[in-house]
Structure 1
Amino acid sequence: MGETENTLYSDSRLIGIYDLLNAGDHDFTFYEAQIATPPKYVLDVGCGTGVFAVRLASGGHKVVAVDPSPAMLGYARRRAGADRVNWLVGDAATAPGDTPFDVATMIGHAFQCLLTDDEVSATLRAVRERLSPGGRFMFETRNPAVQPWLGWTAQHSRRAIRTDDGSQVEVFHECTSVRGEIVEFDTHYDFVEAGVHLTSRSQLRFMSQPVLARHLDAAGFREVTWIGGWDGRSFDEASSAEIIAICRNDQASVRRLQDFEHAIQRTV
């Protein structure tokens, strides 16, 4: 899509304001409560600027954090407390598989960056293969039923923030295309004092809960709890803004997969 595609994840000026634009910890607090008492061995997939990974590590968990953007990870590694985290450039399959993880997370709607069935399947399988029996994978995606992209216009999404040096940045989203499950939009950034305008073009996939459930089942996640908000409310397909999935790698499924793989090996 050209030089504006996913600039948010590569331009140092945009990475520098990412945390300001995504301030708030309702999701962090929710997932921390689910992970519960440390120490847990946690895999944070699509960790971005590393806020959550460092927060978990500072709370006593052992954390491996992966992200496909070297620039985002470069920023994360400079964060206070970053030395407590094992940072890796890559995706879920990049994470070590020698010691099973107790928990895997994929937060900040990072799951929606998986645009194809192959990407979704590969990620779910890689995560599941790295979880201990009984381990959990936690992530969220926006509910397409409430059509959040309708508010991604200059009129409805414009906001202004102040950076650490006091300068102002004005930001708004502009939805440009909705094709089935794929929503394309531009995010515009006006650095007022510097007179600089930047645009980042993005695509996100909006899967319904039934479609997502089928993908999870195909990957071997048979036990899934569906939550519709950060306050823990049950998921409602018509009204919930979030589809939060807590997926357990149950031991029976692990054994079935191992038996299947062993049977395949005996035939070759």
Structure 2
Amino acid sequence: MDMKKSLSNHTHSPNLEEYNDPTMYDMENDEFDGDFAFIEKWASLMGGTLIDLACGTGRTAIPLAEKGYSVIGVDLHEGMLERAKLKAEEEHTDIRFELQNCEELELDMKSSMIYMVGNAFQHFLTNEAQDKLLRSVAAHLKSGGVFIFNTRFPSAEELLQAAEEEYWRTYVTDDGKQVDVYTTSHYDALTQVQNYIIVRKMKQDDLTIENELRTTIQLRYTYPMEMERLLARHGFRVIELYGDWEENPPVDSKPELIYVCQKEKELDMN
């Protein structure tokens, strides 16, 4: 199967604009490892080959492989995946990377553990997309296996953000440039989709703005009771639910929801 050809429509999706510079993505995200201990704990419990969906540049897959785990990394963004391959080669890690749409997985195996971190679940914007993702996961998960993923908590504070630019964070590029990152957002209650504009202000040595980069991204918010019903429909039971990667209970003040779901049975979704 020619994956590049089959993904031609997906890789140019406007909702992937935020990932078109994989190097910048790594500068902004590589230091985050708060989810790693949790994922590794479950990897050691479940054993076998892990499937990392929406693996991006390999932030989680590569260190797992370095610790001796067998990992398959799947992503539909060719640029992100190419950077993941390069990083894996530099670290001398053996990872199988697949350029595929997570909604239409075609892997030649089933796993005891599939995971999707970085709030990637929110990229599945419609009911149909969520259904297709969960069908793909179920088809590649052994009975009794687990699917682990996170999603931002749809609190009022998260959804009803001010329309004006809001400061998010600052980081320094490899060549020493300071970048201030701001966001604006608008929530569509009918679709449960938050429409974000991310503004990166690159500064010169005297901290005057040298350049601005604007990208957009859409993220779907799914409420906990809605999520439980959705997962059950696809044969999953939520066996653990947390508000952060330190395994604290979910509450309004926590920024996300961490789901550990067990595949209970095979379902005919045709």
TM-score (norm 1): 0.84
Within the alignment, does 1:128 sit opposite 2:148 as a pair? Answer: no
Instruction: Tell me, in whole angstroms, the C-alpha distance in 2 between the residues paired with 1:221 and 1:93.
Output: 17
Instruction: Tell me, in whole angstroms, the C-alpha distance in 1 between the residues paired with 2:13 and 2:149.
Output: 29
- Of the candidates 118, 129, 146, which is equivalent to residue 108 of structure 1? 118
Within the alignment, does 1:218 sit opposite 2:233 as a pair? Answer: yes
Q: CA deviation at 1:164?
A: 1.6
SS in 2 for 1:36: helix
| Structure 1: stretches of 5+ with no match in the other structure | none
- Preserved contact between residue 103 and residue 129 of structure 2 (Cα < 8 Å): no
AA matched with 2:243: G
Q: 1:39/1:84 Cα in 2 relative to 1: closer, same or farther (>3 Å)?
A: farther
**Residue equivalent to 2:94:** 84
Within the alignment, does 1:75 sit opposite 2:80 as a pair? Answer: no
Bigger shift: residues 109-118 or 88-97: 88-97
AA matched with 1:231: E
- Preserved contact between residue 104 and residue 132 of structure 2 (Cα < 8 Å): no
Q: 1:90/1:249 Cα in 2 relative to 1: closer, same or farther (>3 Å)?
A: same
**Residue equivalent to 1:61:** 69
AA matched with 1:247: C
AA matched with 1:172: Y
Q: CA deviation at 1:85?
A: 1.0
Q: 1:64/1:95 Cα in 2 relative to 1: closer, same or farther (>3 Å)?
A: farther
Bigger shift: residues 18-27 or 107-116: 18-27
Bigger shift: residues 204-213 or 186-195: 186-195
**Residue equivalent to 2:256:** 242
TM-score (norm 2): 0.83
AA matched with 1:241: P
- Preserved contact between residue 76 and residue 82 of structure 1 (Cα < 8 Å): no
Instruction: Tell me, in whole angstroms, the C-alpha distance in 2 between the residues paired with 1:136 and 1:195.
Output: 47
Within the alignment, does 1:52 sit opposite 2:60 as a pair? Answer: yes
Bigger helix share: 1
- Of the candidates 144, 156, 172, which is equivalent to residue 154 of structure 2? 144
Instruction: Tell me, in whole angstroms, the C-alpha distance in 2 between the residues paired with 1:65 and 1:20.
Output: 20
| CA offsets 1:177-210 (integer angstroms, 9 cap, x no match) | 4334110010011222493321111100111100
AA matched with 1:7: E
Q: 1:132/1:102 Cα in 2 relative to 1: closer, same or farther (>3 Å)?
A: same
**Residue equivalent to 1:205:** 220
Instruction: Tell me, in whole angstroms, the C-alpha distance in 2 between the residues paired with 1:135 and 1:166.
Output: 45
Q: 1:176/1:115 Cα in 2 relative to 1: closer, same or farther (>3 Å)?
A: same
Instruction: Tell me, in whole angstroms, the C-alpha distance in 2 between the residues paired with 1:158 and 1:246.
Output: 29
**Residue equivalent to 1:19:** 26
SS in 2 for 1:55: helix
- Preserved contact between residue 180 and residue 202 of structure 2 (Cα < 8 Å): yes
| Structure 2: stretches of 5+ with no match in the other structure | 1-11
Q: 1:163/1:70 Cα in 2 relative to 1: closer, same or farther (>3 Å)?
A: same
- Preserved contact between residue 105 and residue 138 of structure 1 (Cα < 8 Å): yes
Q: 1:39/1:146 Cα in 2 relative to 1: closer, same or farther (>3 Å)?
A: same
- Preserved contact between residue 160 and residue 187 of structure 2 (Cα < 8 Å): no
AA matched with 1:21: E
Q: CA deviation at 1:154?
A: 6.2
